[in-house]
Structure 1
Amino acid sequence: MDFPNTLTGVQGYDPQAVDALMARVKRQYEGQGLGPISAGMLVETRFDLVAGGYQVQAVDAALARLADTFELREQSERLARLGKGVILGELEIMDTELQRVLGLGAVGAFDYAKRGYKKRDVKKVLQIISEFGGLDRVDAFVVRSQALRRSRSGLDRDQVDEFLALVTAASTRARITA
């Protein structure tokens, strides 16, 4: 994949690190990979910032799309191996937690943290999730690509990230079992 570079002097992701990961992802996807790369690993990937590096937003969008592709592949393999009943059982548990969080709202569902996400941003993401109108309609890419800015007294980042991972995993399961 080719990514646009930032302007000279502006920080972006280290091109060598990004290119190395993308080459590894390509090898694995084509069945030649050395070790497994999962959707979760792609979502959690962080790169060093360097002057003139790749544009952060472009790389993050590509990683979100790849994570969706890997998640779909992983869950489709699980469906074939374990059967629809197991996946539907997991989905029911996930949906219960999802509805709990949406019912409580951002402030009620997540703890405060010194360096958390802005409440307004988290509320917006929860609203977007609610507006999809069903797990099988949730667009995981839209959820993964929402900008969550940091705040000195925001909502706990780990809890919010875990919830968003739950949403994307549940939406994938809902789509493959529909």
Structure 2
Amino acid sequence: MAHTEDSAAAGFDRVARGELGYSPKQVEKFMSAARDFLEDPSAPAVTSHDVRTVSFDAVRGGYDAAEVDAALDRLEDAFARRERDELIQHSGEDVWLREIGQLAGILRGRLVRADGERFRRPSSPKAPSYHVDDVDSLCIRLLDYLEHGSPMTADDVRTAVFRTVTGREGYEETQVDAFLDRAVELMAAID
């Protein structure tokens, strides 16, 4: 992995010149905005949702994606804690608990579905999709986390990897990804 002086200032290593990494300019702009808001709440707002959904262009010699993603995960957790604390401070713990309960109820509604029926199948027979057993296995763990407090972290969900299958053999990737984003949102707000 190459390391240059300008990437050291940003805190991320660069990948080799011929490899793809995240656009340094975009990463630095986003991280700067996030840092500004953390230090000064009157700065333009950045939310945990913004952190969770940000994407960067892939460029040759860019920042190491794994390093940036790990920093984003920590940043998302920090913003989620801040949002939780602010909500409790301004509206009370009952409002926060009600919001958490509503989101948990929405997630639980899908988690309690039968294996093989939790998400829709892709409409295109050639579309890549997630292996049903892999996704269902994670969903069972999530349900156990919600209902019984079994150990699980937002990082367990963030780093979940599913085998890829084709078409209707698997679950539609975008629907699963959107659901898992909501699960991470809930877990980050609770922890």
TM range (shorter): 0.7 to 0.9
Q: Partners of 2:65 and 2:134 in 1: how far apart?
A: 19
Q: Is the 8 A contact 1:10 1:51 kept in 2?
A: yes
- Please name the residue that 2:44 is paired with: 35
- Indicate the structure (1 or 2) with the bigger Cα radius of gyration: 2
Q: Where does the alignment leave 5 or more consecutive residues of structure 1 unmatched?
A: none
Amino acid in structure 1 at the alignment position of 2:176: V
* TM-score of the two chains, using structure 1 as the length reference: 0.80
Name the Cα RMSD after superposition. 2.7
Alpha-carbon distance, 1:120 to partner: 4.7
* TM-score of the two chains, using structure 2 as the length reference: 0.76
Residues 3/90 of structure 1: CA separation in 2 closer, same or farther (3 Å cut):
same
Q: Where does the alignment leave 5 or more consecutive residues of structure 2 unmatched?
A: 1-9
- Please name the residue that 2:156 is paired with: 142
Alpha-carbon distance, 1:172 to partner: 4.0
Q: How many residues align?
A: 175
Q: Which residues of 2 match residues 36-51 of structure 1 at below 5 A?
A: 36-51=45-60
The answer to whether structure 1 residue 125 and structure 2 residue 141 are counterparts is: no
Q: Partners of 1:99 and 1:32 in 2: how far apart?
A: 34
Alpha-carbon distance, 1:145 to partner: 3.1
Structure with more relative contact order (C-alpha pairs < 8 Å, separation 6 or more): 1
Q: Partners of 2:51 and 2:138 in 1: how far apart?
A: 20
Q: 161-170 or 42-51: which moved more?
A: 161-170
Q: Partners of 2:149 and 2:30 in 1: how far apart?
A: 30
Deviations 1:14-60 (A, max 9, x none): 11111121111111111166311111111111111111111112211
Residues 94/106 of structure 1: CA separation in 2 closer, same or farther (3 Å cut):
farther
